[in-house]
Structure 1
Amino acid sequence: MKRMILVLAAVAIAGYSFGQKKPKINQAEKAREEGNLGEAKEIIDAAIEHEKTKEDGKTWYYRGLIYASLDTTSNPQYENLANEPLKVAMESFAKADELGGKSEYYISDANGLPILKSQQLQTLWGYYLNKGVEGYQAQETDKAVENFTKTQWVMPKDTTGYIYAGLAAQSGEDYATATKNYYSLINDLDYQSEDIYNSLIYIEGTVNKDMDKALKLARDAKSKFPENPDFAKTEINYLIQMDKIDEARSGIESAIAKDPGNSSLYFTLGVMYEELEQKDKAIEAYAKAVELDKTNFNANFNLAVLHYNNAVALVTAKNNLGITTEDRKKAKAMEKDILAALENAMPYWEEVLVLEPENRTALESLQYIYSQLKLNEKAVKVSKKLEALGDVE
């Protein structure tokens, strides 16, 4: 008797399953379009379980649309119908692609024109990007990061969401999230940016106090952006902070021994000596860099600055002297040294101006130098160039 009851129960269950109506997936999409997201979700959830619809790519495509709508809806009635609806939506779209053929899924607009899935994803991506920007502008960095991160789910290969999420997180001092996004950019998406490396170096070295990571990043950046002298300077700075001065020096000197005609290596040597406050050796190294390559902008610029700063230091010392007879003698003697330092700086500033004709720092420095050296015609020309550039914004 007991066995008969079990058999009858099994038959009843089988009969119930067999008798379930096939969910109408088109009705689910119609409900979504009309804003009835609860109904749409109920139908589509049943459809992904039903034998006759669960292997249909269109079922999963509609599910993606419905769950994406649940994530973007402003209707509080539907806001909490699903957990992480966007993730469910993207998983559904992926499943639809897996089951579908070569043709792209689409729905029709009011005029009967097709709206392709790729277009719908682009619109969804733009929605989250705009929401992220709104959050950032309102200084709600958590909301900004949340929405920028969602753009990554929609378009995982697009770098924009990672850049914005990283910047927003860094602005909100959420450095863990910032670095996660920045590392994704350089390691996973091969997005090589000086700004991204600078941010990572700052976070790892200054915030996280991980000098080894910061040093590695500086070296990677130096390799990827050889024209940017700041990364070489950063590398040397970290080596000095880590008490690895001999490593810094030997590394540069070894490279120079292998390639003695390399102007950039002498520039790097100059940077190291400047960091060690050995200015005479720095000047010597920069001068060698310029000798090897007259167009080495950074070496010319640093040489000009060092000589010019020598003059400034002398002027400051002279101005701090008193009015005694001995002080006046010292001041007069110092005037020659000041003019000599300005004369030393002048050719390098002039070369900087050849390489960058609108370099304001060079123009302003030369204006002062020409005036002090009584080179009035040159001073007038430089003044006119500065006037033409206008005020700094």
Structure 2
Amino acid sequence: MILGIFTLLLVAVSVQAQQADVKAAKKAISAYKLDPSASKEKLREALAAILPEPTGEDVSDPGFFILKGEILNELAAQIVVVKQTGFGSLEELPQVDGVAVKAFQALVTALEKHAQAVNSPNYLFQDAMKGIQEVQANLYNFGVYAYEAQDYGSAYLNFSSGLACHEILKKEGQKSSLDDAYAMKDQKFFTGMAALNNNMTEAAKPLFEDLYQANYDNPAIYEALYAINANGEAANLDAAYHYLKTGREKYPEEVSLLFAEINHFLKLNRLDELTEKLKTAINREPDNPALYLTLGNVYDNLYQREYSAGNSDLAGKYFDQAFIYYNQNLEKDPTNFDALYSIGNLYYNRAATLTAVLSELSSDSSSAGMERYKAIEAEVFVAFDKALPYFQKAERLNPNDTNTLIALKEIYIRNNQPETSNAIDERLKNVRDGGFNATAFFNE
């Protein structure tokens, strides 16, 4: 019996302690609001009292969750003041992760408890509505802070909670900070961008589609809708390009949309359409070396296509254009490995295709055939000789690139320099076996 009474006393003390915490929280937050600049300790006391999980009657009491939302909201507002004015210190304030979202969640819970309770007073409902109106601004600010810190998951939680606030307020006939159509569009845009940057495409898609239908004046929505529809298991490039094309027509000077279109045509290997678009991009950003390299690659592929089709004159023109744009890249960035390798590879492939022609001519023992053979053979050696210095420079920049080492090995074999070829082959085997060449072979 004594043990049973002792147990009951413990339960009673526990309940009283929880009730005392709620009272302490109310007292502390009231004291803090009277003079918030005097001491942050009262806010800390209020949080310490209200943050533990509720027990007993508090579990179903809307007032408990309204108080919790109020205290968290106050902390969120103080953080915003410090960040926006620079007065005070964030270190002086209590630290609560996701404070604005937690305030919103507490207020939503309060509304749920109010709806479930029998004869719950109406003033609790009004207090919850007021709290949701207040937290809406905090959610937006914390969304911005998280987005700027590239914490896109937290940014999405804050921004989307702000949208949820609006839905709750409008359902109950209350005013919302998103009643203004432009404010609502901006909020949807930021929410969508946060979701997209956090790889939450399913959450982002309806937001950007709403903005598209509303003719929202921002080119980023067209790029976003393109990215959403062009990627993933349900990718639809036709639907994706529809958005991109619309955006390009509406914002013809927008460089990001132009680059997205270039990448689209690269993905589809529509080379002929790429040349003019890349030239346009170069005119917009003449100091961007990547554009020259990309255009060189396009002309390189066009050269190979036309040469394979037997259109030697057109192939020659494309070869020259590839060389020009690769060199223009090197003018912007003389140590660009990709450009150096690409020029070497351009000549190397030319030598390889001519070598195939030599194989065909080898069976022609006529004087004309032999003369043709010697002429093409000379072209082969010229092409390899022109490729060599570019591969050497590329190897100097990256001594572990297997393609560069293969090309160098083959060129030195053809130049009848087996010692050099074998040395390079050893370095190639080292890389293929998982090793690493600490220094370059051509390190002059």
TM-score (norm 2): 0.41
